[in-house]
Structure 1
Amino acid sequence: MTRSTTQWLIAILSLATVTGAHAHEGHAVTTTPGDSLLHWLTHPDHILPLVAGVALVVVLGGLLVRHFRR
């Protein structure tokens, strides 16, 4: 992966994470008795920032590992 491609990937994932989190900001996280963490995580409002955030951490972690192996 070239440096330019990596920078674009990080920028897109960061934007998706921030946009998704910002769109959900201000909404109360309410659960009813019996709701599980899985139910909360799979709610449509939570999926985009969660997936983008995890992907961003994986990409950045991979870059750090690759950098220090050189």
Structure 2
Amino acid sequence: MLWLWDHHWPELIHPFASAIDTELPVPDEMVCIMEDSKPKWVRWPEGKKSVHGSYGGDSLEEWHKKHNLFVQ
């Protein structure tokens, strides 16, 4: 898949990181989502991370703007 569309933000298309062909900065930590749907036998990846039960209220664009990571 190259992108995701979400009815919460119908005006936006969210590209998957794997579809971006330019260098990206290495993040300080992972963001793990949908913990509420994760089977108990599945382990989160090792390393610094924040874990969330479901999707947050921000679009990808809003999240990047809040964290000063938005580039046009």
TM-score range, shorter chain: under 0.3
Where relative contact order (Cα < 8 A, 6+ residues apart) is larger, the structure is 1
Structure (1 or 2) with the greater strand fraction: 2
Answer with 1 or 2: which has the greater Rg.
1
Structure (1 or 2) with the greater helix fraction: 1
TM-score of the superposition, structure 2-length normalised?
Answer: 0.23
TM-score of the superposition, structure 1-length normalised?
Answer: 0.23
